[in-house]
Amino acid sequence: MTTPATAPRRDDQSSPGTPSPLCDEETFAEILAEIVADEAPRLFAVVEEYGERADARIAAWGFAFPDHAELVSADRTCRMILARPENALLGFRSAEDHIDARIVWHDPARATALDEGDESDENDEHDEPGAA
């Protein structure tokens, strides 16, 4: 059994308890990017559909993890932790108001570029963490 006292040190210059770098910064950044790409939750929206394809709106955004989903309503008034993304649909449907709901999975390849003149989201102070 190797103990901290007998474990080989990679670099005699490192302080006790501080491991030496495994690789250079560029390689480490690439490794981290691959880990994030592999482990990222899937992004989805709960879309409310009014009537029969008469109109629709994004009612909530969610992250699907392997063992659960987390959701926040678009107006930021509701948060949910669910076993599955589909479990959120009941809360966004209303037969009386002719509102149905569906899960739409985000596809980054379908994203449209923001027009240069469109600044609608640039001044939303709630979008940036720590914004005042």
- Average pLDDT (102-129) is 70
Residue type, 54: A
In Å, the largest CA–CA distance within the chain is: 72
Q: What's the rounded Cα separation, in Å, for the pair 124 and 30?
A: 32
User: What is the reported pLDDT for 113?
Assistant: 78
Please give the span between the terminal C-alpha atoms of the chain, in angstroms, as a whole number: 53
Task: Domain ranges for the chain, please list them.
Answer: 41-109
Over residues 102-120, the mean pLDDT reads: 80
Mean pLDDT of the chain: 84
φ, ψ for residue 111 (rounded to 5)? -65, 140
Q: Which two tokens stand for residue 51?
A: 């009537």
Q: What pLDDT, in 10s, does the model give residues 27-46? A: 999 999 999 999 999 999 99
Query: Is the overall model pTM greater than 0.95, yes or no?
Result: no
Joined together, the tokens standing for residue 13 give: 């210059």
What was the pLDDT predicted at 76?
97
Angle at 40 between CA 62 and CA 120, to 5 degrees: 50
Confidence of residue 17 (pLDDT cuts 50, 70, 90): confident
Contacts (Cβ under 8 Å, ≥6 apart) of 49: 55, 56, 99, 100, 101, 102
Predicted local confidence at residue 7, as pLDDT: 47
